[in-house]
Amino acid sequence: MAEPLEALLEEGRTFPPPPEFAARALVRDRGLYERADADPEGFWAHQAAELLHWDRRWDRVLDWDLPFARWFVGGRLNVAYNCLDRHVEAGHGDQVAYLWEGEPGDRRRITYAELLAEVCRLANALRGLGVGRGDRVAIYMGMVPELPVAMLACARIGAAHSVVFGGFTADSLRDRINDAEASVLITCDGAWRRGNVVPLKEIADAAMAATPTVRHCLVLRRTGQDGVPMTEGRDRWWHDVVPDHPATCAAEPMDAEQLLFLLYTSGTTGRPKGIMHTTGGYLTQVAFTHRYVFDLHPETDVYWCTADCGWVTGHSYIVYGPLANRATSVMYEGSPDYPDKDRFWAIVERYGVTILYTAPTAIRTFMKWGTEYPERHDLSSLRLLGSVGEPINPEAWVWYWQHIGGGRCPIVDTWWQTETGAIMISPLPGLTVCKPGSATHPLPGIAVDVVDDGGRSVGVPGGGYLVLTRPWPSMLRGIWGDPQRYHDTYWSRFEGRYFAGDGAKWDADGYLWLLGRVDDIMLVSGHNISTTEVESALVDHPAVAEAAVVGKTDPITGQAVSAFVILRSGYEASDELVAELREHVARLIGPIARPKTVLFTEDLPKTRSGKIMRRLLRDVAEDHALGDTTTLADPAVVEQIKARYLTTAADEE
Ligand code: 7RM
């Protein structure tokens, strides 16, 4: 049986940087932290100057008119120039920017010089379609190299992009286009997904039936099916338009506070928020964090972030951070189980990936599938692993460490949000002693606190709400068209501080543990219980690959813990196992956290970026009508769970 969670994961095993890694790491001492603590604004100004090319130096580092920040005021720079031209001018034009692999197995190597040429052509083409500084361009594409090209072409001419994930429906696309009042939509004929074509252009057409601001639609041919509908006067093929334009296009200096992009977050309630990110502060912090959190050595590393460009991780850590730092990145179009469950490991082996950045949801899925898939491949090129998107359960952390990292790769568990723009809390891999499941400490230049309901610091150790106490360069600048909502959502709960919406605690050593969204926290007999902790206790059991828990209304305890559990391959559901899991949680956390019900399931409802949607499981447990399911990756999953729950999940007591 597993050791108790506290002993195993808090007091017990810690993971210092492996010595071979630490010996070559960019950061080996606390100097960065010390300089940032002594003078945070000076620290960020130093990073901005060191990491980026500025056409005009800023007059002031920060104007802070709470909650509105302006960074590097008066400074001018061009994001595309920083990501492309300066590397080509410095003689690195032949370095590969993207090693791209399509889902069907086709491959492309795109150098910095080639990427620059294509970005310039598209930038010229967009100008030809009437796009100028300050306009918004919607992008609805699969994971093809032309997606970063489209983002960078916008940045080059000062248009803001709004990337809409290629798995979203026509209605979601329409609402996002209309909120941003985009004048151009860039899309593809289709996208590959598990061997099937998702007909992006058809979906885009359905959206464009009700988007009065869209004047033009540019369509990239990717899947090549016949009969793609093209509307005369509005729609143009990329290959008819873009190649005719010159491969040079002046990169005009932009104001540091020029809008770079909008990215919509669905949130749990209300209409999607268009999160605004600007130019100078954003690029400074994504370049800084990409370089130091991933210990990037641009001459030798092959970096792979497995996210989709449709969410913020793709923006900051597939496109802007890596390109600003002249990384060579792998970009993969499709899903991890096509044609087989070893696709990721085949890619790591083929390209010699050295840095892998993925999500806990993927890691838990790999755990469920079993070790035979990674074992088919040589993963010895890997030297650093990253995690983002949800708390990583300690058991998943250790699995990742052993079975993917071979016990030689540090793991950086990176906490951040669409709104923060860049990583905020993370180890530095050559320096930080890690505890599995803890994102450890805020990065240099970042200030956080954990507060109680009344906004008082809880102190170390202690638990409460995570807040950010100082503005940071890549912070959101607002919600598009709704400054009041910006204030109310993030800056009103605790005066003068940014409310992240996550629970967190400090342990006795001052390590931070993220505990999930505060909306998900359960209240059992007057005790706050974090979903993350109960889920981690369940995943700690050898039979469990993945778990989600929610609080269900209970006549005696107020709420009772209700667990949904996915087993690892090779384990069978049984009443004995239910009893064992309940005891396991009680033993690791305490009897108060013992799940009242346990339901075995094949799948959990997740957003398209892989986050578990507990709100819907709560609806199932409470036997309520299901709430909004439009942001789910697969709405059928929750319907199946609901049907199973009604027939099988009797309370255990
Ligand atoms: C990057 C991203 C943000 C929310 C955030 C958290 C959760 C993300 C971690 C994490 C614990 C992590 N942007 N979250 N990373 N929780 N540990 N390392 O995910 O806007 O889509 O989501 O994701 O709840 O508030 S996001």
494-543 pLDDT, tens digit per residue, is 999 999 999 999 999 999 999 999 999 999 999 999 999 999 999 999 99
How many Cβ atoms sit within 10 Å of the Cβ of residue 270? 9
User: Count of residues for the chain?
Assistant: 653
* Pocket test residue of 387, 417, 513 for ligand 1, highest count of atoms within 8 A of CB: 417
Q: Which residue from 177, 154, 422 is spatially nearest to 277, judged by alpha carbons?
A: 422
With a cut of 90, say whether residue 653 has pLDDT above it. Answer: no
Banded model confidence at residue 337, pLDDT cuts 50, 70, 90:
very high
Predicted pLDDT of residue 269: 60
Banded model confidence at residue 626, pLDDT cuts 50, 70, 90:
confident
Backbone phi, then psi, for 632, in 5-degree steps? Answer: -75, 145
What beta strand segments (E) does 586-630 contain? 597-600
Closest residue by Cα to atom 1, ligand 1, is 417
Banded model confidence at residue 1, pLDDT cuts 50, 70, 90:
very low
Banded model confidence at residue 628, pLDDT cuts 50, 70, 90:
confident
With a cut of 70, say whether residue 11 has pLDDT above it. Answer: no
Phi-psi region of 445 (alpha: psi -120 to 50; beta: other; left: phi over 0): left
**Centre of ligand 1 from the C-alpha of residue 120, in Å:** 34
Here the tokens at position 339 are 């044609």
Closest residue by Cα to atom 3, ligand 1, is 417
Alpha-carbon dihedral sign for residues 5, 22, 388, 32: positive
With a cut of 90, say whether residue 601 has pLDDT above it. Answer: yes
Share of the chain above pLDDT 90, in %: 91
Q: Which residue from 108, 196, 119, 183 is spatially nearest to 156, judged by alpha carbons?
A: 119
Give buried/exposed letters for 363-372 (b at 16+ CB in 10 A, else e).
Answer: bbbbbbbeee
With a cut of 70, say whether residue 185 has pLDDT above it. Answer: yes
3-state secondary structure of 599: strand
Banded model confidence at residue 627, pLDDT cuts 50, 70, 90:
confident
Banded model confidence at residue 10, pLDDT cuts 50, 70, 90:
very low
Whether 426 lines ligand 1, by a CB cut-off of 6 Å, is no
Instruction: Give first-to-last CA distance, the chain, whole Å.
Output: 24
Report, as an integer, the average pLDDT of 10-37: 92
Predicted pLDDT of residue 649: 56
Q: Are the CB atoms for 145 and 175 separated by under 8 Å?
A: no
pTM value is 0.95
Among the ranges given (241-255, 281-295, 625-639), the one the predictor scored with the smallest mean pLDDT: 625-639
For residue 265, which atom of ligand 1 is closest to its CA? 20
* Pocket test residue of 311, 388, 432, 614 for ligand 1, highest count of atoms within 8 A of CB: 388
90/163 Cα distance (integer angstroms): 30
CB under 8 Å to 540, separation ≥6 — which residues?
Answer: 2, 5, 8, 393, 394, 395, 584, 588
With a cut of 80, say whether residue 474 has pLDDT above it. Answer: yes
For 313-328, the pLDDT digits (tens) are 999 999 999 999 999 9
Query: Which amino acid would we find at residue 555?
Result: P
Closest residue by Cα to atom 19, ligand 1, is 389
Whether 418 lines ligand 1, by a CB cut-off of 6 Å, is yes
Predicted pLDDT of residue 268: 56
Q: Are the CB atoms for 75 and 256 separated by under 8 Å?
A: yes
Query: Cα separations (Å) of 375 from 239, 340, 346?
Result: 42, 14, 10
With a cut of 70, say whether residue 199 has pLDDT above it. Answer: yes
For residue 413, which atom of ligand 1 is closest to its CA? 18
Predicted pLDDT of residue 6: 44
With a cut of 50, say whether residue 556 has pLDDT above it. Answer: yes
**Centre of ligand 1 from the C-alpha of residue 447, in Å:** 17
Q: Are the CB atoms for 217 and 229 separated by under 8 Å?
A: no
Alpha-carbon dihedral sign for residues 194, 196, 201, 203: negative
Predicted pLDDT of residue 5: 43
Query: Which amino acid would we find at residue 637?
Result: V
**Centre of ligand 1 from the C-alpha of residue 129, in Å:** 37
Q: Return the CA Rg of the chain.
A: 24
For 35-93, the pLDDT digits (tens) are 999 999 999 999 999 999 999 999 999 999 999 999 999 999 999 999 999 999 999 99
170/185 Cα distance (integer angstroms): 13
Q: Contacts by 202-208 with C-beta closer than 8 Å and gap 24+?
A: 202/228, 202/229, 203/140, 203/169, 203/170, 203/173, 204/140, 204/170, 204/173, 205/229, 205/231, 206/170, 206/174, 207/140, 207/170, 207/171, 207/173, 207/174, 207/177, 208/174, 208/177, 208/234
Predicted pLDDT of residue 644: 82
3-class secondary structure per residue, 311-378: CHHHHHHHHHHHHHCCCCEEEECCCCCCCCCCHHHHHHHHHCCCEEEECHHHHHHHHHHCCHHHHCCC
CB under 8 Å to 30, separation ≥6 — which residues?
Answer: 431
How many Cβ atoms sit within 10 Å of the Cβ of residue 579? 12
With a cut of 90, say whether residue 609 has pLDDT above it. Answer: no
Q: What is the DSSP letter of 10?
A: I
* Pocket test residue of 489, 502, 612, 631 for ligand 1, highest count of atoms within 8 A of CB: 502
Banded model confidence at residue 267, pLDDT cuts 50, 70, 90:
low
**Centre of ligand 1 from the C-alpha of residue 189, in Å:** 32
With a cut of 60, say whether residue 351 has pLDDT above it. Answer: yes
529/271 Cα distance (integer angstroms): 29
Among the ranges given (75-84, 153-162, 271-280, 635-644), the one the predictor scored with the smallest mean pLDDT: 635-644
How many Cβ atoms sit within 10 Å of the Cβ of residue 86? 17
Whether 417 lines ligand 1, by a CB cut-off of 6 Å, is yes
Share of the chain above pLDDT 70, in %: 97
**Centre of ligand 1 from the C-alpha of residue 359, in Å:** 10
3-state secondary structure of 191: strand
Predicted pLDDT of residue 3: 40
* Pocket test residue of 514, 536, 609 for ligand 1, highest count of atoms within 8 A of CB: 514
**Centre of ligand 1 from the C-alpha of residue 574, in Å:** 34
390/612 Cα distance (integer angstroms): 9
